[in-house]
């Protein structure tokens, strides 16, 4: 067979009924297999041909069996750029042929939460793609609430860069930087120098903080962080990260402590280094509770925030990319053709040795 990818002409001829997709089959089981082509099932749906996609840390969580909402048989993936293939009768903003950025969050635009800008809690959307409905690691994907869940690719935009805007950049920005209220002259610490922590680092610089200290266990990732603009780097292996950060800040602590890992130790480290009046902005996905040291923090005038990304800043981020204020392509370390997606998973899954940040998967 000469191509793994269903040809649009063939598809339009009505002959093709399947496509290739990366399918989850329960903990530790995934296959690259034939899967039924998605169909429009509501008037607000669009079918998008995926041009570029990527793998998220959350996909690895699913494969560990950590995400019970994601059932076997599901096509994974919630990031990507594509071309609109067809739209339902209720779609008014997009037309077949439009190049679009796919948001990881589906938003109906009508419910109480969407009207408040809290798309993550959309009553018929939120994070469903590659979780409760089939996702983007496929040749085609059905996007519900298309008018309010897709974004037009600006003329001349680099589509590689835009793949980073499906999830990772708005996540680092909204959950970390905006919730952390980063301001000019601030001192910021980001705990976790993986892709999400680095996305927070890149977008934190929109606000000209004086210092951004990255904390991680992996020296390579700390090196990357320095190239991306970190002013300080702390390897927390020795258990002395809090001590070091306090020393670096003259005993004062940081204005914003951004947690980008998702385990109790890293969250509690944030409690140790946040300055009076500061903020702990949680980005990490947590599986267990953490200790909140209210016996110390009750009088420190701090705020702790949590957030599932709303992608409400996607239009703003598109403008910053278009104007060159940020180059999200820097997060891409590896590239694979779509039919090598299992290799991409392997590379991404062994990030410590492969030094992978984001792997770009192209049709």
Helix H or strand E segment including 265: helix 264-273
Handedness of CA 13, 16, 22, 27 (dihedral sign): positive
- Point out which span in 20-28, 72-80, 113-121, 222-230 binds a second copy (CB under 8 A): 113-121
Residue from 322, 334, 343, 346 binding a second copy (CB under 8 A): 322
- Tell me the Cα Rg of the chain: 21
Q: Which residues contact 96 (CB under 8 A, 6 or more apart)?
A: 84, 85, 86, 87
Residue 201 is a binding residue for a second copy (CB under 8 A): no
Query: β-pairing, 254-259 with 187-191?
Result: parallel
Residue 45 is a binding residue for a second copy (CB under 8 A): no
Contact positions with a second copy (CB under 8 A) in 155-194: 183-186
Residue 118 is a binding residue for a second copy (CB under 8 A): yes
Residue 206 is a binding residue for a second copy (CB under 8 A): yes
Residue with Cβ nearer a second copy (54 or 120): 120
Structure tokens at 139: 């040749």
Tracing tokens 């001590």 back to the chain, one arrives at 243
CB 221 within 8 A of CB 234: no
Residue with Cβ nearer a second copy (159 or 211): 211
CB of 327 to a second copy, least distance (A): 13
The size of the interface with a second copy (CB under 8 A), counted in residues, is: 73
Contact positions with a second copy (CB under 8 A) in 246-275: 262, 264, 267
Residue 60 is a binding residue for a second copy (CB under 8 A): no
CB of 207 to a second copy, least distance (A): 6
Residue from 5, 93, 157, 217 binding a second copy (CB under 8 A): 93
Residue 23 is a binding residue for a second copy (CB under 8 A): no
Residue 27 is a binding residue for a second copy (CB under 8 A): no
Residue from 293, 335, 337, 350 binding a second copy (CB under 8 A): 293
Backbone angles phi, psi at 97, to 5 degrees: 100, -20
Residue with Cβ nearer a second copy (23 or 202): 202
Burial of 231 from C-beta contacts in 10 A (0-12 / 13-18 / 19+) = middle
How far is it, in rounded angstroms, from Cα 363 to Cα 20?
A: 11
Residue with Cβ nearer a second copy (85 or 174): 174
Residue with Cβ nearer a second copy (267 or 338): 267
| DSSP codes of every residue in 225-254 | HHHTT-SEEEEGGGS-HHHHHHHHTTTS-E
Residue from 86, 103, 136, 148 binding a second copy (CB under 8 A): 148
Instruction: Give the alpha-carbon dihedral of 203, 133, 308, 105, to 10 degrees.
Output: 50
Residue with Cβ nearer a second copy (3 or 323): 323
Tracing tokens 């996540």 back to the chain, one arrives at 171
Residue 288 is a binding residue for a second copy (CB under 8 A): yes
Residue 92 is a binding residue for a second copy (CB under 8 A): yes
Residue 8 is a binding residue for a second copy (CB under 8 A): no
How far is it, in rounded angstroms, from Cα 25 to Cα 73?
A: 5
Residue from 19, 320, 338, 360 binding a second copy (CB under 8 A): 320
Residue 121 is a binding residue for a second copy (CB under 8 A): yes
Contact positions with a second copy (CB under 8 A) in 209-238: 210-211, 231
Q: Residues 4-10: contacts with CB within 8 Å, 24+ apart?
A: 4/338, 4/339, 5/139, 5/338, 5/339, 5/363, 6/37, 6/139, 6/140, 8/49, 8/85
CB 103 within 8 A of CB 152: no
Residue from 109, 154, 229, 349 binding a second copy (CB under 8 A): 109
Contact positions with a second copy (CB under 8 A) in 298-317: 298-308, 310, 312, 315-317
């Amino acid at each position: 067979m000469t191509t793994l990818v269903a040809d649009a002409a063939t598809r339009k001829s009505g002959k093709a009924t399947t496509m290739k997709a990366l399918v989850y089959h329960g903990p530790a089981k995934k296959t690259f297999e034939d899967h039924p082509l998605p169909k429009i099932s509501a008037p607000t749906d669009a079918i998008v041909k995926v041009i570029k996609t990527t793998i998220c840390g959350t996909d690895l969580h699913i494969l560990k069996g950590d995400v019970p909402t994601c059932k076997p048989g599901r096509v994974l993936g919630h990031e990507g750029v594509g071309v609109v293939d067809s739209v339902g009768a209720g779609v008014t903003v997009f037309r077949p042929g439009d190049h679009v950025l796919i948001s990881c969050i589906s938003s109906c635009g009508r419910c109480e939460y969407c009207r408040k800008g809290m798309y993550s809690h959309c009553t018929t959307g939120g994070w469903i793609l590659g979780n409760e409905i089939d996702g983007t690691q496929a040749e085609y994907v059905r996007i519900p609430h298309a008018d309010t869940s897709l974004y037009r690719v600006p003329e001349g935009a680099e589509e590689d860069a835009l793949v980073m805007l499906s999830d990772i950049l708005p996540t680092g920005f909204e959950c970390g930087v905006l919730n952390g209220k980063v301001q000019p002259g601030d001192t910021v610490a980001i705990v976790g120098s993986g892709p999400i922590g680095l996305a927070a680092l890149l977008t934190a610089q929109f606000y000209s903080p004086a210092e951004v200290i990255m904390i991680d266990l992996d020296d390579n990732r700390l090196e990357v962080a320095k190239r991306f603009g970190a002013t300080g780097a702390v390897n927390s292996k020795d258990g002395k990260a809090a001590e070091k950060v306090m020393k670096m800040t003259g005993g004062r602590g940081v204005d914003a402590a951004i947690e980008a890992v998702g385990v109790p130790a890293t969250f509690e480290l944030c409690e140790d280094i946040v300055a009076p009046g500061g903020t702990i902005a949680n980005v990490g996905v947590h599986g267990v509770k953490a200790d909140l040291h209210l016996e110390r923090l009750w009088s420190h005038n701090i705020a702790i925030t949590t957030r599932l990304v709303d992608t409400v800043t996607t239009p703003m981020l598109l403008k910053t990319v278009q104007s060159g204020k940020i180059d999200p392509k820097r997060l891409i370390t590896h590239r694979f053709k779509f039919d090598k997606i299992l290799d991409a998973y392997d590379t991404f899954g062994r990030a410590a040795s492969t030094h992978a940040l984001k792997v770009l998967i192209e049709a």
